[in-house]
Amino acid sequence: MCGICGVMSLRPPGPDATPITETAVIRMRDAMRHRGPDDEGVFVADGVGLGHRRLSIIDLSGGHQPMANPDETVWITYNGEVYNFQELREELEARGLGFRTKSDTEVIVRGYEAYGDAVVERLRGMFAFAMWDARRRRLLLARDPLGIKPLYYTQTADGFFLFASEIRALLTWPGVRAEVDLDALWDYLGQRYVPGPRTIFKGIAKLPAGHVAVVSGGEVTLRRYWDVPLDGETWSEAECVGAFRDLVTDSVRRELVSDVPLGVFLSGGLDSTAVTALMASMVSDPVRTFCVGYGGEQGVNERPYARLAAERLGTVHREVEVGLEEFWQLLPQAVAAMEEPVAEAPSVSLLQLSRFTREHVTVVLSGEGADENLGGYGIYRHLLRARPLRWLGTAGPLADLYGSHRAARALERIRQGIAEYRGVSAIFTRHERERLLGRREPAVDSAAVHHERSRRLSPLQRMLYYDQKVWLPDDLLVKADKMTMAASLELRVPFLDHRVVEWAWRVPSSLKIRGGVGKVLLRQAFADVVPAPILERAKVGFTVGGGGRFADNVGREARRLLLDEQALDGLVDSREVARLVRRHTEGVENLLEQLMVLIVLAWWRRLFLS
């Protein structure tokens, strides 16, 4: 895993063109030192500059970047892993193309020479890269199908196109300012993260998952190169269980390729236990597993289930704990690493777990992605059952007037229904956001394109499609990437091999949700290796321990940051914030999630806009 960055002039080369300096590219690159502590590189030519920081995983001595083809007309800076690079290499060698290294990086370069932009469609893995074609004076950017690896870009007023793995690298460039995007702020308050392609930073965008961007002739063009099959066809139930087990097994086997030590994040849930079981069947030494939990007796504690799985599978198991006071000390560090406000308490625990795990291994596998493909979240079942009740949504404004946030949010979700589904995470209602921001919703709805593309699909598929395109890359995966890379740890996600995702998309709904239970197919496919107590558990969200103590802590922190220090004044309405804090601290209504959204926003503002 690595950090990439670069710049290209959008103006024609000539004596009056502003030069790109190596110093400026290095400044971008080294803002991401944590993403690649093992090696560094830079390439600068007329009108272009590429930077790279490397975390060495494969071909430790031969994968220096930026890397070029033999005649140095094609250059790449690349972040990620391509798991089918060995098959692609054999295919390219059969076409007469030679190789100087054993790295997957060179396979992408030589693949571009053979297939052009279509090389991206042949890659299985997680990646974000930029390819400079000197002959055509053309820059190609690409991001993997599911958005496992991040890639941001912006344009400057003086004619430069910039890209990077992290926003902080873009902010080092002269003229790129940290300003809040008010439309993105509206989205954040509604969903506790910012759906792409927007970011919270005005003028900085995310390259969407499954897209390429071509920068040529002074213009930037985006193109979708991958999507799940949208024809509505499904497999028969009879052929699903064995085929799914084989696909996931193949994905795990591919993701074990590494020249450094590997482990697994084992939470004690169904998904991570299945991945651990497969890995244990493929390696000779005991698998190294890692788990995090919060101190305190209240709240969800999955460590007993992780220990059960570890004992059954014979792993070398290690755990780390986050105390309640430690949570508040780590929160600003997590917000700084995330770069955008993402109001997820598990970010803190994942940062602590990543730092602990990095003391033992360099690569970890996890079970991320199964819920979004196989119907694991309870919201899917709730909304399917609530479809006949959409008429109740007309009472939403009455709930707002009455003052019950919980009632208003539930009624808004029922009113929106599946046609306007906004993901597993819903925080402030439209009316509440109008009061906080003093404005109406944005003219351009970031969700519209996903709703339109999925409008002919079944109700369950429509929800899964939205979460795959928005929640997964813009919350779950960016959190996973930023927290692990803050510790220089590579995270791999076997359930998100795009071949697995394509196949799972055709699984009939009855094998995703049945009788109020989600991920039916996963339970059937791995029933022989997952302990029964884990197999039979309902899905639970990861919460902070301490129960009522944590709620009190949130109220205390909200009062300090939002009222005493006025950390959001001028950004949101101070009277509305004071009202929310008062309702929570006086016990009128539990607004823990809503106040956490504002607390994270306050820390983000302090860290990035001050």
pLDDT at site 300: 58
CA–CA distance, 583 with 577 (Å, rounded to integer): 10
Helix and strand tally (H, E) in the chain?
24, 19
Amino acid symbol at 211: H
**Do the beta carbons of residue 562 and residue 410 sit within 8 Å?**
no
Q: In the chain, where are the structural domains located?
A: 2-224, 237-366+490-535, 547-610
Q: What pLDDT score does 239 carry?
A: 85
Among the listed residues 221, 204, 63, 67, the one whose alpha carbon sits nearest the alpha carbon of residue 140: 221
What whole-number distance in Å separates Cα of residue 65 and Cα of residue 103? Answer: 11
Cβ partners under 8 Å of residue 552, min gap 6: none
In words, the CATH class of domain 237-366+490-535 is: alpha beta
Predicted confidence (pLDDT) per residue in 149-175, tens digit = 999 999 999 999 999 999 999 999 999
The single residue listed with the structure tokens 């394509």 is: 502
Let me know if 2 is a catalytic residue. Answer: yes
Q: Are 187 and 25 a contacting pair, CB within 8 Å?
A: no
pLDDT at 547: 61
**Using CA atoms, how far apart are residues 179 and 462, in angstroms rounded to an integer?**
34
Q: Can you give the pLDDT at residue 414?
A: 73
Q: How far apart are CA 416 and CA 506, in angstroms?
A: 26
Q: Report the mean per-residue pLDDT for the chain.
A: 92
- Residue type (1 letter), 201: F
Tokens of 91: 């295919």
Residue 10 burial class via C-beta count within 10 angstroms: exposed 0-12, middle 13-18, buried 19 and up: middle
pLDDT at 425: 83
Q: What is the pLDDT of residue 464?
A: 95
d(CA 7, CA 197): 20
**In the numeric block, which tokens belong to residue 381?**
């079942």
Going by C-alpha positions, the residue among 567, 568, 563 that lies closest to residue 579 is 563
**Which DSSP category does 344 fall into?**
-
The CA–CA distances, whole Å, from 489 to 54, 263, 285, 303, 314 equal: 12, 11, 21, 22, 24
pLDDT at 483: 98
Q: Supply the pLDDT for residue 207.
A: 98
d(C-alpha 187, C-alpha 428), whole Å:
10
Predicted model pTM:
0.95
pLDDT at 176: 97
- pLDDT at site 477: 97
CATH superfamily, with its number, for domain 2-224: Aminohydrolase, N-terminal nucleophile (Ntn) domain (3.60.20.10)
pLDDT at residue 397 in the model: 54
Residue 365 CA to residue 488 CA, distance in Å, equals 14
DSSP string, 16-66: TSPPPPHHHHHHHHHTTGGG-BSEEEEEEETTEEEEEEE---SSTTT--SS
| Model pLDDT, residue 418 | 74
- Mean pLDDT, consecutive 10-residue segments, the chain of 610 residues? 93 81 97 93 96 83 89 97 96 95 95 98 98 97 98 96 98 96 97 97 98 96 96 85 96 92 95 98 96 72 91 97 93 98 94 97 96 93 79 53 69 74 87 95 89 92 95 97 97 97 94 93 96 85 65 95 97 97 95 96 96
